[in-house]
Amino acid sequence: MKSVFISGAATGIGDGLVSKLSQEGWRVFAGYRRSPPERASWFNHPAVTPIQCDITDPAAVKSAAEQVAAITGNKLDLLINNAGFFGSGGVVECPDMEEYRKVFEINFFGVLNVLRAFMPLIRNGQGPGSGKGRVINVASSSTYMIYPMASAYTVSKQALKTATTHLRLEMKAFGVEVTTLDPGAVDTPMSSDHEKNSAMQWSAIPETLRAQYKKLFIDTETMMQNSFALYTPDRFANDVYCKIICSKRFKPVYVLGPGVAAMPWMHRLLPLQQVENIWGKVFRAK
Domain boundary assignment for the chain: 3-282
CB of 156 closer than 8 Å to CB of 86: no
Cβ burial, residue 143 (10 Å; 0-12/13-18/19+): buried
Beta-strand relationship, 177-183 and 134-138: parallel
pLDDT-based confidence at residue 226 (cuts at 50, 70, 90): low
For residues 214-224, average pLDDT: 76
Tens-place pLDDT, residues 58-70: 999 999 999 999 9
Tens-place pLDDT, residues 102-147: 999 999 999 999 999 999 999 999 988 778 999 999 999 888 888 7
DSSP state of 231: B
Tens-place pLDDT, residues 150-206: 889 999 999 999 999 999 999 999 999 999 999 988 887 665 566 677 777 777 788
Q: Please report which helix (H) or strand (E) contains residue 286, including its range.
A: none
Residue 234 has pLDDT above 70, yes or no: yes
pLDDT at site 190:
62
CA distance 103 to 98: 9
pTM of the full predicted structure? Answer: 0.91
Sign of the alpha-carbon torsion through 275, 276, 277, 281? positive
Question: What class is the 3-282 domain?
Answer: alpha beta
Sign of the alpha-carbon torsion through 151, 155, 157, 158? positive
Residue 78 has pLDDT above 90, yes or no: yes
